[in-house]
Amino acid sequence: MDAKERIEELRNSLNRHNHNYYVLNSPEISDKEFDMLLKELEQLEAAHPEFHDPLSPTQRVGSDLTKGFEHVVHDRPMMSLANTYSIEEVDEWAKRIDKSLEGEEYGIVGEMKFDGSSISLLYRHGRLVRAVTRGDGTQGDDVTANVKTIRSIPLQLLPGDWPVEFEIRGEILMPWEVFERLNAERAYNEEPLFANPRNAASGTLKMQDSREVAKRHLDARFYYLLSDNLPFDNHYENMLAAEHWGFKVSKAMTVLHGLKEIDEYIAYWDEHRKELPVATDGLVFKVNSLRQQLNLGYTAKSPRWAVAFKFNPERACTPLRFVSFETGRMGIVTPVANLEPVQLSGTIVKRASLHNDDIMQELDIHEGDSLYVEKAGEIIPQITGVDKSLRPAGARKIEFVKNCPECGTPLTRIYGEAAWCCPNKYGCPPQITGRIEHFCARRMMNIDGIGEETAELLYSAGLVSTISQLYDLTEDQLSGLDRIGPKTAQRIIKGIEDSKQVPFERVLYALSIPNVGETTAKRIARSVVSMERMQAMTLEELTAIPDVGPIIARNIYDFLREPVNEANIEALRRAGVQLEVSADKLAPSGDSLAGKSIVISGTFAHHSRDEYKEIIAAEGGKNVGSISKKTSFVLAGENMGPAKKEKCEQLGIPMVSEEEFLNMIGR
C-alpha cells in the first residue's frame, strides 16, 4: 500500500471512530489505539505535504490565531421562533395550523429546544465548506476554523444520499459536565464565571485561537436541513437521513398526531429534560410536511409552521448564608443574597441579586432565612420569596447598609428611585474601575483587552484612574504587569490608538454620564454636534434636546461642570478622540420626510427600530413616541399593538408598511 492509500485509509478510519465515539457513544477502539492511528497519520502527512487536506482529522486540534471573523450573509435568513409558555398556547397554535390547512391531515414533529449558540453549516460534495453564526438573522460570523475543532461535527460525511449542496442548522452546546469543570477552573484562577452553558458556548465559538476552542470540548445538535434537492418531502425523515450522514440529532425528536400527543410530549419532557447532558430551555413543534410548511409561510420574524414552548423556571428553597452589598460603576449599591449552593436548571446557584432596599423590605429577609430562588428565563437567579416557617426564633432583620462598603462614604438615596448611591464618584474604587471598563467596552470605544480584571489591574498599579490616562499608556508599562504579556500589551495599545476614530456619539455613551444610554447619546450627538457646543449649553438648552428631560439634562449639566470631568474631556481632546460629529453624518441624506412626524410601531425585517429612527432623521423627518392628530403616519411593522391600530383608525392616521416606507424614501 502506497502513502496516499494509507493516508486515505487512516482518514476514513479516524472519521468513523470519531463518529462512533462522539455521536454514537459506542467506541470500537481505546483512546490509546485512536491516538496511535492519529499519530501515524500526522507523520505520513508531514512526510507527504502534497496530500494535505484541510479537513483531515489531524486538523481538528486547531490552528494559530485567526484574524477576526468575516461577516457572511445567510442564503436563507435564520429567523427566530414565536414563543409560548403554556400547553394551552401550544394547543391554540395547533388549532390555527388546523384551520389554515383547512382540515388537511398533518403531522407535528416535537423536538428539544437546545440552549446553545445557533449555527449554520454549509456542505458541498459531502465536505464541510463553511460555518456561520446566526448573527442578526440576516448575516453572521464565519467561525469555520473553530467549528472544525468540534469532534461531533462531521468534516467529511459518511456515505449516503446527501445532496451535492445543502445547509444544516443546529446549536453549538457546552455539556453540563464540561461547563462545571470550566467554571471550577475559572474560579480557581479568580476569573469571572460563565453564567450558563449557552454563554460559555457562544463565547468559546468566538475565541480567536481555535486551539483554545478545541480544549473546551464543545458539542452540537442539529435540527433543520435546507436544500433545493432534499431526499424527503418531510422534516422528520430528512433529519433521520442527516443522522445517517454523521450528524448528531436529538433522540427526543418524534412525530405527533393531535393535541393529546402534543400535551403528553410536553408533560414528559418537562420532567425528563433534567436528565439530559446538555442545557435545554424548552421544546419546538414543527409541521412535518415541507409542502405544508411552504403554504403556511412566515411572519416578518418567524415561521408560522413552527412554535417554541418554554419550560417554566425551576424553583428551589435554600438557606441564606449572608447578604453582601456591592458598589457598581454608577455608585449604586446592590444587595446580593449569598446562598447555600443549590442546583437549579443544571447549574449550581450560590448568589442572587436582591436588587434594592425596597425589594429587601418587601421580602422581609432575616438572618438564617430560607429563600425561594428561581431562574428568570432559566439564566439569571432571582429571589422570589421566604419560607417564614423555617425562620429561626429571634432572627434579626437584615437592614440595608448606611455607608459604601468599598470606601465608607455615607450613602444617599436617589430622588424618586429605590436605589442608594455612593456619592464619592471620583474616589470610590469600583466606580473608577467600572467607568474604565465601560469606556473600553465593544459598543463604546472597543478597546480590546481591557475588561473588568484589567481595569482593576491598571487602577491598582497607579497607571489609570481616569479614562483619559488610557491614552498615556505604553507597551512597556503594560508588559510589566501581571497576566499581561507582550502580545496582549500590543493589542491593547493598538485598540487605544484605533479608538481615536470612534464616532462622537459612541464617545458620549462611553463617558458614563448618568442616564445617557446608547440611544440617548446618538440623539444628543446629532443635536449638539460637538462637545464644545454641549459644554457651553445652558440647562434650558439641554432640556430642549429631543428625548432629554429635566433629569437627564441636569445630569449632563452637572457632569460637564465637574472639574475632574472637564480635565478628562480636555485630555481626550488633546489625545485626538473624536469630540464632534463628522461632516458626512451632519449632511442629511435626503428630504423625503421633511416636516413629517412619524410613529414607529411593531417589529421589522429589514432594519431595527433604532435604525429606522436614524433613517427618519436623515430624511428630514421627526420620530415621535405617541399617536396624535399631528402624526403624519405610523410606520407599522408586524405585531403592531391593537390599541395603536384603533387610535389610527379613530384619528384617520395612515399606517404605512415597511415595504411601502422604504419605497417612499427611495431605498
The catalytic site residues sit at 113
Amino acid residing at 552: I
Pairing of strands 370-376, 315-327: antiparallel
Region for residue 513 given its phi and psi (left: phi exceeds 0; alpha: psi -120 to 50; beta: otherwise): beta
What distances in angstroms separate CA 247 from CA 18, 241, 354, one per listed residue? 12, 9, 43
Dist. CA 621–CA 613, nearest whole Å? 9
Beta bridge partners of 282: 113, 310
Residue among 394, 582, 622 nearest 502 (CA): 582
> Which burial class, exposed, middle or buried, applies to 237 when counting CB atoms under 10 A from its CB (0-12, 13-18, 19+)?
middle
Dist. CA 547–CA 620, nearest whole Å? 17
Q: Answer yes or no: are the C-beta atoms of 289 and 112 closer than 8 Å.
A: no
Cα 540 from chain centre: 39
- The side-by-side arrangement of strands in the sheet containing 306-310 is 83-84, 306-310, 280-287, 108-114, 254-256
Residue among 159, 160, 154 nearest 231 (CA): 160
Cα 424 from chain centre: 33
Dist. CA 222–CA 220, nearest whole Å? 7
Which residues lie below 8 Å from residue 501, measured CB to CB, with a gap of 6+?
Answer: 578
Long-range contacts at 4-11 (CB < 8 A, ≥ 24 apart): 4/48, 4/51, 6/44, 7/41, 7/44, 7/45, 7/48, 7/51, 10/37, 10/40, 10/41, 10/44, 11/41, 11/53, 11/56, 11/57, 11/156
Helix or strand (DSSP H, E) at 173:
strand 165-173
> Which burial class, exposed, middle or buried, applies to 244 when counting CB atoms under 10 A from its CB (0-12, 13-18, 19+)?
middle
Dist. CA 192–CA 523, nearest whole Å? 34
Cell readout for 616 is 427618519
- How many residues belong to the chain? 667
> Where are the strands (E) in 419-510, listed by range?
420-421
> Which burial class, exposed, middle or buried, applies to 637 when counting CB atoms under 10 A from its CB (0-12, 13-18, 19+)?
buried
Amino acid residing at 521: A
